[in-house]
Chains A and B, each alone.
Chain A
Amino acid sequence: MNFKLLGALGLAVVLAACSDKSNTGASTGAGATAQETGAAPGSEADLVANVGDRVFFDLNRNTLSSDAQMTLDKQAAWLARYPQVSVQIAGNCDDRGTEEYNIALGQRRANAARDYLVAKGVAPSRITTISYGKDRPTADGDDEQAWAQNRNAITSVR
């Protein structure tokens, strides 16, 4: 119980941090030109700096939060602007599950993000998915904040 509460708090902190970051992006964002950040339009760097390349999940879940949906909405708009770009979505997990279960869970998360983008009009042929389970953590540490960052689906330009 305590653990769950801590988890929820930790997640809230991270999501808040992420929201701040993406809001900063968004304020320059909706009409932002890539040149403002020095990233080539339609590039990986552009995606990371001006759109947001990743969404986060709760423990053992693949539900897209409203924050995650906002990020994916921006990704869909960005992909509409650069129709020549194809992406890979990689699903990842924290290390609080078994290796094999997490491979499937990471794939489930990647698929959730892909399905959302497809529903927003991105052609399925432009999106590939992969799962790294718990073997490619974004954050090195083992605490609630790191785990929350590692439960993600990361979009990258192929």
Chain B
Amino acid sequence: MRVELPFLSDDQAQGLSNLLSRRTLLGVSAAAGGLLATPLQAFAQADGTGTSPGAPGEAEITVDQARTAPIPIAIPSFGPGLGEQITGVIAADLESTGLFTVLPGAPGAPDFAALKGQGARAVVTGSASGSSSARVEMRLWNVLTGQQIQGTAYTASAANWRRIAHTIADVIYERMLGEKGYFDTRIAYIARTGPRHHQITRLAIMDQDGANAHTLTSGQWLTLTPRFNPVRDQIAFMSYANNRPRVYTFDLASGRQQMLGEFSGISFAPRFSPDGNQVVLSATRGGGSDIFIVDLASGAKRQITSSGAIDTSPCFSPDGSQIVFNSDRGGSPQLYIMSASGGGVRRISYGHGSYGSPVWSPRGDQIAFTRIANGRFSLGVMMPDGTGERILTEGFTVESPTFCPNGRVIAFCRQSAAGAGGAGFSSGIGTIDITGFHERPIRTATGASDPAWSPLRG
């Protein structure tokens, strides 16, 4: 974590001032399920530290810039009890990105001169009140101009206090960086307990920061590869229920499970279409596996590949027009792209070793993958035409990448090698920025694997 906090240069100050001033004029609205968000009128502003806004050709604080110089932001406590807890979650969310450096600050009306002296570019003030129903007020300020960038009051059940905090962190992220945040999200995963040779696996879900983790299945059967529906509150996953390994859907609201489609072989490796109405998956046949698209409403299936080889791990492009998948039709497992109807197959992976578990970025410009060479795993990204391959991290096992909704961060599974008797084996979930910086673990109570990032809740 960076602690060095340079004073702003005049250029930086002017650029930031322009940016924040412009954003002040943007419409203010933030709403999330279970949360009521109402705008707060700006206080009287400008204590003389401001500079005049509005020069044309205004600068942006881009994510790229923030990677090299994290944005210093002061977040004084929102008050004792609930306020303190909310402040802590907001600060942890922002710091988890590596794009912000959170500074302490004195509660009360912001002292902009002092904050500027500290190097802060922005300050967040707020308060929290209520017991069963919580009201949380937050204001985001431009330290340079003393102007309020955002003011919102959130009302929600106090049990939802973490979602209030994540929603506030998302607003701050979006206001400062111009891109949607990803803090009010969850990660579905497989919770793992027991010995290496026979792990008990349970479908599980947690907030993106690891809080509120709970399991959704009993662990009776081997359970793998959960995937979030991008539109509905639903997960597709693979279960060995009754020793018939098949893809199922799991409705999070009702807990209802349903086998997806009819397959004589093993069905596995599901992923939803961008509209949430279909699942692309693979099913074993003979010595290989074929790719199918299954309609969720009717259960009807359409076969997309029939190479006789192993075709698996299919994933739609975000516009739904193409599918990237894993195949050993050429010998070793490699990555291929085809149209969503199965035509125009072409190989895109040409690096050293074999490739697998491709997943398309929600931005469409990158495909994350696992590469295996010399018995070790790497996690990387390449462009959909196969160029620009970059390895982000390596390890004994690093696999199952999944993008956060804005495409800036990848969660993945990291496993260590086991010694005799399985000693030393561990399985956990980590996150890493798509540029390969700021890798960090998500703490889970048990072993964990197969992360799947949800869309933003709303």
Contacts and interface: CB of A to CB of B under 8 A. Distances in A.
B197 A101 contact: no
7 A-B pairs closest in CB distance? A98-B356, A140-B422, A142-B417, A104-B310, A104-B289, A100-B269, A107-B284
Given A132-B222, A136-B197, A104 B282 contact: yes
Contacts of B269: 100, 103
A112 interface: yes
B418 interface: yes
A107 B328 CA distance: 14
B288 A104 contact: yes
Interface string A3-19: 10000000000000000
Interface residues of A, number: 30
A141 B420 CA distance: 5
Contact of A140 (B195, B313, B354): B195
B314 to A, nearest CB: 10
Interface of B: 195-199, 201, 222, 224-225, 240, 243, 245, 265-266, 268-269, 282, 284, 286-289, 310, 312-313, 326, 328, 332-333, 354, 356-357, 370, 372, 374-375, 396-397, 399-400, 415, 417-423, 425, 449-450
A112 B422 CA distance: 29
A108 interface: yes
B177 to A, nearest CB: 33
Contact of A99 (B286, B310, B400, B418): B400
A101 B333 contact: yes
A142 B287 contact: no
A99 B450 contact: yes
B49 to A, nearest CB: 54
A104 B266 CA distance: 8
A68 interface: no
B399 A99 contact: yes
Contacts of B449: 99
A99 to B, nearest CB: 6
Contacts of A130: 240, 243, 245, 266
B287 A140 contact: no
A131 B400 contact: no
Nearest to A112: B287
Nearest to B423: A140
A96 interface: yes
